[in-house]
Amino acid sequence: MIDTHTHLYMPEFAFEGQNDSSYEGQCDAVDRARRAGVEMMILPNVDRSTVGPLLDLHRLRPDCTAPAMGLHPTEVKENWREELDYVMSVLDSDAAHWCAVGEVGIDLYWDKTFEAEQMQAFDIQAARARELGLPLIIHCREGLPQTLEVLEGHRGVDAVFHSFGGSAEDAEAVMRAGDGRFYFGINGIVTFKNSSLRTVLPVVGADRLLIETDSPYLAPVPHRGRRNESAYIPHILATVAHSLGISVEAAEAATSQNARNLFRLS
């Protein structure tokens, strides 16, 4: 199993009283995931403040983590150009080090103030991803038209729509826009009692699905309401398999191969 989107480097996973530089709790969360059968975890960046912790955790667990670098859309504010320049300088410092540019995109759920700036930042990062031959990890919340508008200028780039929770119509629009190159990241939302996402998965098909946790957020049933972690991936995988009418083994094989293909994992 491959968790294609997890923030295990965040302080939510630190042990009480641990030395900030030890990352004992974060490493323990990685190790729990490994024991649960997760072979690889993709670590997307958020902003300037998360670059150090992300890289430190990857350094401590290099065999089972893969880092991605980008500026999250909710962090695009008044000083967005300065923040983006910093993140892009980290990306460019060792382009071969990264498995993707992310997480990037459009988020208009909380605040529409910086919609234009979000689109500019996303456009710049999508262009850099294409130049470097890296896929995009896209965060899209209440901003699908804007996201697809930006992507129209970057035909040929590979991407995953992380934490996808849209309708069948939304999924079809994404598939058309990507000419079959875009994937859909499915997390704990699919396990929620009233989620309609389970009926959307057959529209997408196993060959375009990835599984993720988005830890520490969106814990799946039966852990809903608690801190999420990559060790909970089996619950998500089981629901995806049931929704597609295939075995858990078949769902695991398909989603893991999709992740290897998109992120160029060995």
Model pLDDT for residues 35-46, shown as the tens digit of each residue: 999 999 999 999
Determine the Cα–Cα distance for residues 76 and 45; give it in Å rounded to an integer: 14
Instruction: Inform me whether the pLDDT recorded for 20 exceeds 80.
Output: no
Question: Average pLDDT over the chain, rounded to whole?
Answer: 97
Q: Which residue has the tokens 């996201």?
A: 147
Q: Tell me the mean pLDDT in the region 244-262.
A: 98
Kindly state the tokens that stand for 95.
């382009």
Mean per-residue pLDDT, 77-104? 95
- Quote the number of domains for the chain: 1
pLDDT in tens, 203-246: 999 999 999 999 999 999 999 999 999 999 999 999 999 999 99
Domain that holds residue 72: 2-263
pLDDT (mean) for 136-160: 97
- What CATH number is attached to the domain comprising 171? 3.20.20.140
Q: Where are the alpha helices (DSSP H) in the chain?
A: 24-35, 48-60, 80-93, 115-132, 144-152, 168-177, 197-204, 233-244, 248-263
Question: Does the global pTM surpass 0.85?
Answer: yes
- Residue 190's pLDDT is 98
The pLDDT, as a whole number, for residue 159 is 98
**pLDDT classification of 95: cutoffs 50, 70, 90:** confident
> CA of 164: how far to CAs of 52, 80, 141, 262, in Å?
27, 25, 9, 16
Q: Quick one: pLDDT band at residue 191, thresholds 50, 70, 90?
A: very high
